[in-house]
Chain A
């Protein structure tokens, strides 16, 4: 729309929008730089306070405040990172393999298996949460990384995305590799994988966020402090949210919970947008 438009109105609206998004994160950051008493009195100023470094040090190293008994955020972040990475790498590997099988091979039951995977697209883990929890419990995987990650690794989204991409690969490429004497796995490694780089990067971003931000699943699966992830850890630390709790510490942990995924989106924005748009088609 280039004709007869108001020049400044879009900027005003957009800047207002940005403020609505930045405002709570800014206040959280400010909260993480004061001491608990200042916040507890309800008199927190809107500028950075003097306790920034010590708050983060306390959050990372002990996670314990006067009224909060938490886990060191370093442990929480490590657990979240392991969980997110295992889910991402696992999803990408098994989806690449299954898409490769479905697109480049002819075998009995091919479409049946494809549909078997495809249908899982419809049901998020939350819907079947209690029976899935029971299966994990029966397998003795409660409070382990295996229990945290393996059930979330199956991915119809990634399989579909890779299938879509593989179908655009010209037959000539397969022919050429066969003439050169390459078998299917060699073709997979030396041709398909390098070609899939952009798709892998795009999936990496959205799947990492998916893994890092899991909440209900780790809430059910972890039973010991040392296994908690940061997203569930921060909510547990907040508890009932009394005025007289260690808000400075809580806000520092909240910042640590949101910084890694936000950074990934900002730094890998191109792949993030591609991943999001592709995954939904």
Chain B
């Protein structure tokens, strides 16, 4: 960590740090502190009077059935997105790892969707799942399935999960492939010589060795499904129909920006911040332990 030779200047290091610190303080710490402060206030409907209420906003939030409904939707949504984005990615990575020639070609063909914005991915699939003009939407209706995600909450939830996962597969694929390629081939071959079947070699040798990558991706995907999927939901369903696709993040946006209930929105932000900090701390602790063993 420490270097032997370092510069000794009184002012210069502070000047170098100044731009980064200024932006961080103004646009990061100040608003975060504001969020915490506002979460302890109640503002009347006209924004004329504010009252300090301690944790009343939180109490109200946790006793609101609609908030608990969003929690349930978020858990279902995030679990599904994470599994659906990681499972196929692992399968593709294992397959690409087995291809001796053309592995880089397949990587090229599979990584580019990472560059598509979630909101744009939503527009692409909207065109396909549209009930009256989409290729799959029309197909489903022709099969007798009353497909219309704008009316049916379950179909809407399925669609936002599917699109969010689709966009994230390439990211996971890249990390799984890198993880697989760093596993020494000799270990796997030794297991094969011992007579382990291909499935057994994968689940008992390769998969455990891949667990640091898997765990890392698990945390990244959960955070992705919490926040980055906002664009998908906003573009496809706007949290509806009803509240069928209103995740916690979408609620923060709607209560704050549309309903202008700043106290509640800030309290919800604080809850989300706490969740992300917890996840990140868990991840760092895990990585630390991995480094030391």
Contact = CB atoms under 8 A, between A and B. Distances in A.
Interface of A: 1-5, 9-11, 13-14, 17-18, 20-25, 27-28, 31, 39-42, 44, 93-95, 97-98, 100-107, 110, 113, 116-117, 120-124, 126-136, 150-151, 153-155, 159, 167, 171, 174-175, 178, 184-185, 209, 212-213, 215-216, 219-220, 231-232, 234-235, 238, 241, 243, 247, 250-251, 254, 257-258, 261-262, 264-266, 269, 272-273, 276-277, 280
Contacts of A39: 133
B88 A4 contact: no
Nearest to B273: A127
B49 interface: no
B245 to A, nearest CB: 15
B119 A215 contact: yes
Contact of A4 (B7, B110, B123, B192): B192
B140 to A, nearest CB: 13
Contact of A243 (B7, B106, B132, B228): B132
DSSP majority for the B interface? helix
B23 interface: yes
B21 A117 contact: yes
Contacts of A134: 31, 34
DSSP majority for the A interface? helix
Nearest to A215: B231
Given A44-B133, A265-B112, A265-B115, A98 B17 contact: yes
Contacts of B252: 127, 129-130
B221 interface: no
Interface of B: 1, 3-10, 12-14, 16-17, 19-21, 23-24, 26-32, 34-35, 38, 88, 91-92, 95-100, 106-128, 130, 132-133, 135, 138, 166, 169-171, 174-175, 178, 185, 188-189, 192-193, 198, 201, 206, 216, 220, 223, 227-228, 230-231, 234-235, 249, 252-253, 256-257, 262, 265-266, 269, 272-273, 276-277, 280
A95 B99 contact: no
Contact of A254 (B111, B123, B253): B123
A128 B235 contact: no
Nearest to A187: B7
Contact of B280 (A94, A122, A153, A262): A122
Given A4-B198, A14-B95, A258-B124, 6 more contacts: A132-B31, A184-B9, A216-B234, A261-B115, A262-B115, A277-B175
27 contacts: A1-B185, A2-B189, A9-B95, A11-B99, A14-B95, A93-B19, A94-B23, A97-B19, A97-B20, A98-B20, A105-B12, A117-B21, A122-B276, A122-B277, A124-B276, A130-B252, A131-B269, A132-B27, A154-B23, A159-B20, A247-B133, A265-B112, A265-B114, A269-B107, A269-B111, A276-B174, A277-B178
Given A128-B31, A247-B133, A95 B119 contact: no
Nearest to A188: B16
Nearest to B99: A10
Contacts of A238: 123, 126, 235
A125 to B, nearest CB: 8
A53 B12 CA distance: 55
Given A117-B24, A135-B26, A235-B123, A130 B17 contact: no
A104 B6 CA distance: 5
B3 A103 contact: yes
A107 B227 CA distance: 37
Given A151-B27, A231-B120, A234-B119, A131 B227 contact: no
A130 B35 contact: yes
Nearest to A156: B24
A171 B249 CA distance: 47
Contacts of A44: 133, 135
A212 B20 CA distance: 21
Nearest to A16: B92
Given A21-B170, A154-B24, A258-B120, A100 B31 contact: no
A16 to B, nearest CB: 9
Contacts of B20: 94-95, 97-98, 117, 154-155, 159
Contacts of B26: 135
A95 B23 CA distance: 12
Contacts of A27: 124, 127-128, 135
A40 B4 CA distance: 70
Contacts of A178: 5
Nearest to A28: B124
Contacts of A102: 17
Given A116-B21, A213-B117, A269-B108, A231 B231 contact: yes
